[in-house]
Every structure is written in C-alpha cells, then in structure tokens.
Amino acid sequence: MNCLSLNARGIKGKGKSGWISGLRLSQGVDFLAIQESKTKDLSQRPISSCWGNSSFNCEFVNSDGIVGGGLISWWDPSCFRVSGVFKSKHVLIISGLLIHSAVHVNVANIHAPNDPSSRRASWYELLLYRRSLLGLWILLGDFNEVRSSDGRINSEFFSQNVIAFNDFIRDTELVEYNYSGLKYTYMSAKGDKMSKLDKSWCVKNL
C-alpha cells in the first residue's frame, strides 16, 4: 500500500483539491492522509475532489474552524479493508487488512498540538494505542517536533520535548523512513524559519 501524508493548510483554497488529487494520482497513492483540513464542512464534493474519480472510503476529524486543525484519511477499498477507526482531536487511526497480502495494518494520521506540554501527552496517547492494537503500524503526519537541534532554524526548540519525543520513538520501536529532497519540510512565509516536522515511521508488532 502506497501512502501519502500532506499538511494541506486548508483544502478549500483555489486549486488546492485538484493539486492534491493530481499528486495522489501521479504517485499511485492508495492511502492519503491530510493534516490541517481547516474545515468542519466536509461535504462529499471537497472530499471526492481531493481524491479523484476512483472509488474511495474516508474518515475525518473535524477542525476547530478555519484557523487550523482537522484530519482526513482516504483509502482505496480494493486495497485496504477497514475493521476499526479510532479518533481523538489530534490522531486518526484506521485499522484494517491489506487485501492482497492479508496483513493487518494500523495507519495513524497525526497532527500534534502546538503546545509543547500537549505534544508530550500526545506521545503517551499514541503509545497506548500502539500497545493495544496488534499488527503492522504506519505513523505519518505533522508531528510538530524535531529529534535534534539541527531540525529547527530560528524557531522554538525545547530540549525536554526532544527527549520525550525520542523516548516515544524508542518505546514504540519505530523505524523512520529514509528521506530525499529538501532537508526541511516547513518554511515560514519570509523564509527565515525552517523545521523538519513532517515525518513517517513504521513498526511491526511481532
């Protein structure tokens, strides 16, 4: 199953849904995870526009409004058969079976809170899910955190949070995917602040 994670910073902007669906189609994506949908009105039209013309299923967590938040996960039902959905404000977990391999997978779409202490609470929440749901795990999204000081330029860096984040990665036995392209995944409008916040990991619970 080919997965794509994207912090869209709103899905209703001009041309945004077409850009997302084009990216999905060009990369052959079977599972699409969006963070910061910035909308409560998830009618069929914007949801289908982001995916494209082929069949899909989806689940979502509403945002607090236009300001931010909101998670949406889409998947191809011919590839992934869902057996359970688990939601909170910052986490959307889709649990099910990969049809062609009969492997059970839990895909967590994550948008961690901006508040440092709330982020630490999010790692504990995810750890509980990890311990209670068996199978292969894929965690992807905007973690709003870095693993070392070189992950941020001219932005807030909390060493206590870095320790907690790395402890969470160790405790959940996560393996981070290799990256190519640009070193940083976020840059401010002025270009003076950069961070590597968007990540993906996998783990197999044996």
CB atoms within 10 A of CB 100: 10
Number of structural domains the chain divides into: 1
CATH number of domain containing 77 = 3.60.10.10
C-beta of residue 7 within 8 angstroms of C-beta of residue 142: yes
Neighbouring C-beta atoms of residue 186, cutoff 10 Å: 15
> 135 forms bridges with which residues in the sheet?
none
Q: What is the model's pLDDT at position 186?
A: 53
Cβ–Cβ under 8 Å, residues 60 and 42: yes
According to the model, what pLDDT value does residue 161 have? 79
pTM of the model: 0.81
Per-residue pLDDT, 205: 47
pLDDT along the chain (206 residues), means of 10: 87 84 92 88 71 91 74 95 94 96 94 86 90 91 75 61 84 72 56 54 49
pLDDT at 198: 47
State residue 94's pLDDT score.
98
Query: Domain containing 126: what range?
Result: 3-204
Give residue 67's pLDDT. Answer: 57
What are the tens digits of pLDDT across the range 84-121? 999 998 999 999 999 999 999 999 999 988 888 888 88
DSSP string, 33-53: EEE----S---HHHHHHHH-S
